[in-house]
Amino acid sequence: MAPDQAPPKRRRYPLYLNILTIFLVLMIAVAGAITWYNYATSTERAMMSSRRLMHDIVSQFTGQLAHFFGKARSFLVLTAEHPGLAKPPTGAGHALQGMFIRGLEAHPQFFGMYLGYDDGGFFQVVRLEKMPPKARQEIKAPQGAVYGVRTIVSKAGGSRLMTWRFLDGQEKVLSFWSQIEPAYDPRERPWFKLAQQAGKVRGSHYYVFDSLLEPGMTLSYRFAPAPQGGVLGVDLTARTLCGFAASHKACPSGLTVVFDHKKRLVAYPDPKKVVRQSLQDGKPVLSLATLDNLGDPLLSRLSRLFDPKSADQIVNFTDSGREYTAGVERIRDFRGRYYYVAVLAPLDELIGPIIQSNLRSLLISLLIMLGAIPLVFFVARRISRPLGQVVAETKAMRNLQLEPTPVINSRIKEIHRLTQSVATMKTTLRTFSRYVPVDLVRQLVVSGKEQGLGGEKRVLTLLFTDVQGFTDMAEHMDPEALMVKASQYFSGLCDEIQDNQGTIDKFIGDAIMAFWNAPLEDQGHAAHACRAALMCRARSRQMDQQWRQKGQPIMHTRLGLHTGEVIVGNVGAAQRMDYTALGAAVNLASRLEGLNKVYGTQILASRATQEAAGEGFVWRSIDQVEPKGTSEPTLIYELVGMLDDAAELAPAPEETAYLRRWEAAFALYQKRDWPAAADAFGALATERPQDTAAQVLARRIAAFLIDPPPPDWDGSAVYDRK
């Protein structure tokens, strides 16, 4: 490191924070290790429990599925022993009609039961409330019909007759109709051909019933050998299986589905989504939805991940930022075909209780740690509090926050002496800041450098104030009362100047000198100075009103503003310096304040200030002057108010109209149109006799009408007195 290179700054922390941090790090390390161990072992147990839970759900589901098909098989086998089967159906029905109706009532999962004979005879009972309206219309079922009974009988000569009869809930016939030579022949149906092996129940694959638009399958059973017998059949809907799937879930957001080896859905919580409609050769065709085309992202992920050759597996995946687990088990139906039962569940819900247990353990650890923190904090603060208070005091002093604070007490001797020294230093700075600009003191403290004589060129906006008739008032007032009154006056005006970013330079008797843009730079110094002057005027008027009410003399304030280049800095001797501004601009600002007495105005500003202040202020052109001690003519303006501001700063509407007429008259004056200017200012002076500026210009123009100024006159009024 080079000799003149400053060492790098290191970040430093309070003593109590270091003690507290060490304690917290140790506690978090211990608690974290315990919590991590508990979480790891608990998660492993949770996964084992979830596997067992899913296996139990699948087992329960397959058991109910076996019971579901067992009822149908039992019904077929027992019905095959009924003696009424030997009698073929007639146009009036069949001997097993009552048994079929009872069977449909006892087994809601059955859609229909039927008999097909080897000679082409057919008998069927279906539940009409399960049929869609279009299908009911096709078979001409009347309103109120509960059961539909269809018979097909063979007539002499080989003809066949189909009859539909419709029954209400009490099995009363509501209507019927017949058709000769129907297209339907039970011997040509797959379920009839499938059940040719006597003594064994056969079942079809899952397919979509055209009359129901729902999936299901048909179980069939030959009750006597051909050609004297026939086949019993039962249509089973998947609605019950879907109900099982909806009720068997591992958790509230879980999902249970059944699908075959082609990934076609057999059971899904919403049976309406199991069937899909597509077009083949321009005709609508109904088919079972698959894992991939159902539109469920969880089932799509499952379709890609599960192994169809595995009998039992667990699949884990993530969807939309959430982790899922799925248990898939392969089962066989009574024909030996494979089906798959899948139970899906969000991992956070499945092992939620264990996570809650982990959180409780973590919470207990945190509570123990939090319970110990106050004790450690108390001890650490007892050690570091006095030092922290001393640091806070020095920071406040650096920011010139010098208000008195309570004494810092400490039993440590060195800290006690340090706090006394800081308090003494604070009192010294507080006293010192009342004699010099506060911003200057802040700049000196922040810089940390010793200041010497010298200054810099800078454009400032300067303000001078003066009290009208202060000398006479001072001669007639008690000195103590005058001091109180002057202090109140100076305090009010200084508040307004400092609130608008001004720097108080000095008090000169009853006058105040202030400036803007030093020691801190201020891009809007002219505007801030103008607003401060208006606020000082308002504050002075407010104090005058209070003094009038008390019967005391008022302190009418006149103000002068000018913007120009000066030398600003430390002036004086090495033993005693004064931060101030020097230059012609300072002199001109003072002269403008004095010209208020000539024109009867309260705030006069130079053209430089009027231009630098920008928009937002209301001005009145007063005159072009050469004050004493200056050689350049200067246009001067009266600062009237502000636009879009408080009522006390904004001019009244009648004042605005008067100013427009004034500016028109002043323009005539500048053009040396003496007759027109005389008429204009004469009217203004007559309208407002108290407007001294109007009187001054009216008298001057009247004199010019008699004795015009020479052609080389620059329009300036020259003043040789302050």
pLDDT > 90: what percent of the chain? 33
Q: Cβ-count burial of 640 within 10 angstroms (0-12 exposed, 13-18 middle, 19+ buried)? A: buried
Helix (H, G, I), strand (E, B) or coil at 394: helix
pLDDT digits (tens, 9 = 90+) for 648-673: 788 888 899 999 999 999 999 999 99
Q: What is the 3-state secondary structure (H, E, C) of 489-513?
A: HHHHHHHHHHHCCCEEEEEECCEEE
Q: Which residue do the tokens 């026939």 mark?
A: 230
> With 70 as the cut, is the pLDDT of residue 8 above it?
no
> With 90 as the cut, is the pLDDT of residue 467 above it?
yes
pLDDT digits (tens, 9 = 90+) for 87-145: 888 878 899 999 999 988 888 878 899 999 988 899 999 999 878 888 888 889 999 99
pLDDT > 70: what percent of the chain? 82
| Identity of the amino acid at 58 | V
pLDDT digits (tens, 9 = 90+) for 552-585: 999 999 999 999 999 998 887 766 777 899 999 9
pTM above 0.95, yes or no: no
Helix (H, G, I), strand (E, B) or coil at 165: strand
At 443, the pLDDT band (50, 70, 90 cuts) reads low
| Identity of the amino acid at 30 | V
| Identity of the amino acid at 73 | R
Cβ atoms 342, 256 nearer than 8 A: yes
Of 294, 256, 251, residue with least CA distance to 272 = 294
Cβ atoms 329, 58 nearer than 8 A: yes
Of 591, 633, 592, 637, residue with least CA distance to 612 = 637
Average pLDDT estimate for 64-88? 83
Average pLDDT estimate for 191-211? 77
Tokens of 249: 């879930």
- Among 213-222, 246-255, 420-429, the range with the most confident prediction by mean pLDDT is 213-222
- Among 85-99, 232-246, 299-313, 503-517, the range with the most confident prediction by mean pLDDT is 503-517
CA dist list (Å): 400 to 387, 403, 426, 630: 20, 9, 9, 40
Name the strands in the sheet holding 312-319, side by side, starting at the edge strand that comes first in the sequence.
265-267, 255-260, 338-346, 322-332, 312-319
DSSP 169-184: TT--EEEEEEEES-S-
pLDDT of residue 411: 66
Cβ atoms 242, 267 nearer than 8 A: yes
DSSP 261-289: TT-BEEE-S-GGGTEEEEEETTEEEEEE-
pLDDT of residue 613: 96
Task: End-to-end CA distance of the chain: give it in Å, rounded.
Answer: 63
Domains of the chain: 83-237 (3.30.450.20), 241-350 (3.30.450), 455-651 (3.30.70.1230), 652-715 (no CATH)
